[in-house]
Structure 1
Amino acid sequence: MVKIIECPRDAMQGLSQFIPTMTKIEYLNLLLKVGFDTLDFGSFVSPKAIPQMKDTKEVLAGLELENTNTKLLSIVVNERGAHDAVQHDEIEYLGFPLSVSEIFQERNTKKSIQAAKEALNNINAIAQEHQKVTVAYLSMAFGNPYQEHYSTSKVLEMAHELSEMGITILSLSDTIGTANAKDIQDLFENASKLLPNTELGVHLHCNPFKATELARAAINAGCRRIDTALGGLGGCPMAKDSLTGNLATESLIEALQDQPSLMPALNLDTLKKASKFRRQNIG
């Protein structure tokens, strides 16, 4: 069965117009009824850095969690954010963005890669102390636009280092939408061989016309943890292709039609309602 990690946080965080808190709550409550494995719902970061997420605590308080099996994931970038997140019993996962690119790490979290690794190690200790699980996102895992040295061996070396640190869930991330199907299949298969005891996933930014093909490549490589966002909303502003956004939930569902045994039980009527709500109220 494929775990779908729905990522409204990633979809919304880059939007310039602030989405009202009650609109976010209504949207997320629809998503909680769909049947996703996990909802990446918000982030405990500085409101100056990500203004769109300044109401994460208020949004969390408005979520209807009584009749859902969907788990909650929140992004943190430092120990302070981790301490804030673990105060909430409702949150099961803390996500941390680590990068293969020194330049992107500095721009994204204002830390060097080494400092980010140290922060991740501390965050993982905080998470474990409070019975939470850390999810590390390895961004720029398929290349970067900065003319820095890149190789799959460098990605695999960092992935192995994170496993040794005690990270049990790792998501290989195509931040700027450069990966093709072969890239995804090759890196995922090599990482799976290297880290058989790590739950590996993919977080893909891509052109919407290539999304289903890339989702199929991940599935065929054995990936059973895939991040998506309804409508493909979000993505990275540094992508060369202006159409690049998150892998659309709809594209993953289409790809899973080929292998129905891997399709999770989703409430497709509620999914349609959530999709309509997103188009009318979010973007």
Structure 2
Amino acid sequence: MKLVECPRDAMQGLGHFVPTDLKIRYLNALLRVGFDTLDFGSFVSPKAIPQLRDTADVLAGLDLSATKTKLLAIVANVRGAEQAAEFDTIPYIGFPLSVSETFQQRNTNKSIVQAFEEVSQIQNLCVRTGKQLVVYLSMGFGNPYGDPYSPELVSAFTDQLRAMEIQLIAPSDTIGSSTPESIETLFKHLLANFPSIEFGAHLHALPAEANAKVRAAVRAGVRRIDGALRGFGGCPMAADNLTGNLPTESIIETLIAENVDLQLDMAAFQVAMALSAEVFV
């Protein structure tokens, strides 16, 4: 099982700016835990997400000398991808492609058609520079805007991405609208129909819902799950009331109960948990 820790997602909607040195200390603590991937920052407009305006400075302060964790940077356009691609230490570049037209406009200021064009350009950039593109299918379990949604629509998006030779796709809950049933249904369908693609689950949930959603993803065959310590996060572009990420501690608890060997340094995890209290005050 691959666990993806998402402090970038957790911090982006905070009302206060987390000092750069504190971000660095927190991320370095997370790098010692043994997560597969760390969603550490984002190359986006500082006007859009002021919290992440120091991503390049944060990256410079990370100690990657003794970690197996791979870095993931989120971008919203080709320009951001070009910035991320300049850094040899970033193997993953993530792009949010929405199955909701309304959310695509709100999140990246472009239509779905335009977003697909950018995905194509970013994929070409990733191939040239030895990166891997991770496409997050935002509103992958429904949307609050009345836009069309169905598992078949998610499948159609996936088919277009497969044609671009994109191999890592993460349907994303965004607003916490998924249920265990819808999670299991969607991922079973995707995994059966697209065996060459690695699928991740990027889910949001209220605290009481987290364990059931993790179990549903595992039952469906998902082997890559995103979370954030203490369940902070939520997309400020999606709604005023943010539904947090799956708490990493709940994911770990659930997976251990399912007899999944996570190979994490739990002492380092407890250090990171303690430090998270300073970040998310």
For the criterion TM > 0.5, the same-fold answer is: yes
Tell me the residue number matched to 1:43. Answer: 42
| Alignment partners' CA distance in 2, 1:174 and 1:188 | 13
Is it true that 1:232 corresponds to 2:231 in the alignment? Answer: yes
Q: Contact 1:188–1:223 at 8 Å: present in 2 too?
A: yes
Q: From 252, 277, 281, give the equivalent of 2:275.
A: 277
Q: Distance in 2 between matches of 1:191 and 1:49?
A: 32
Residue number in structure 2 paired with 1:251: 250
RMSD over aligned Cα, in angstroms?
1.2
* 8 Å CA contact 2:183, 2:217 repeated in 1: yes
In structure 2, C-alpha distance between the alignment counterparts of 1:161 and 1:126, rounded to whole Å: 18
**Which residue does 1:266 correspond to in 2?**
264
Corresponding residue of 2:174:
175
Q: Report what 2:202 is aligned to.
A: 203
Question: Could you tell me which residue of structure 2 aligns to residue 133 of structure 1?
Answer: 132
The aligned amino acid for 2:280 is I
Alpha-carbon contact 1:140-1:176 (below 8 Å) kept: yes
Alignment deviations for residues 51-93 of structure 1 (CA, whole Å, 9 cap, x no partner): 1110000000000000001000000111111111111000000
Question: Which consecutive residues of structure 2, in runs of 5 or more, have no partner in the other structure?
Answer: none
Equivalent residue number for residue 83 of structure 2: 84
2:65 aligns with 66
Please give the per-residue CA displacement for 1:113-165, whole angstroms capped at 9, x wherever unaligned: 00000001100111110100000000111100011121111111111111111
Compared with structure 1, are the counterparts of its residues 191 and 22 closer, same or farther at alpha carbon in structure 2 (3 Å cutoff)?
same
Q: TM-score, normalised by structure 2?
A: 0.97
TM-score (norm. length: structure 1): 0.96
In the alignment, is the contact (CA less than 8 A) between 2:235 and 2:242 conserved in 1? no
Q: Distance in 2 between matches of 1:208 and 1:93?
A: 29
Please list every run of 5 or more consecutive structure 1 residues that lacks an aligned counterpart in the other structure. none
The separation in 2 between residues aligned to 1:218 and 1:33, in whole angstroms, is: 26
Deviation per residue, 1:240-270 (Å, 9 max, x gap): 8x5720011011111112322x332111111
Paired AA for residue 227 in structure 1: D
* 2:142 paired with 1:143: yes
Cα deviation for residue 26 of structure 1 reads: 0.1
Identity over aligned residues, as a percent? Answer: 52
Cα 1:243/1:108, change in 2 over 3 Å: closer
How many residue pairs match? The answer is 280
Quickly say closer, same or farther: Cα 1:104–1:233, change in 2 above 3 A: same
- Which deviates further from its counterpart, 81-90 or 273-282? 273-282
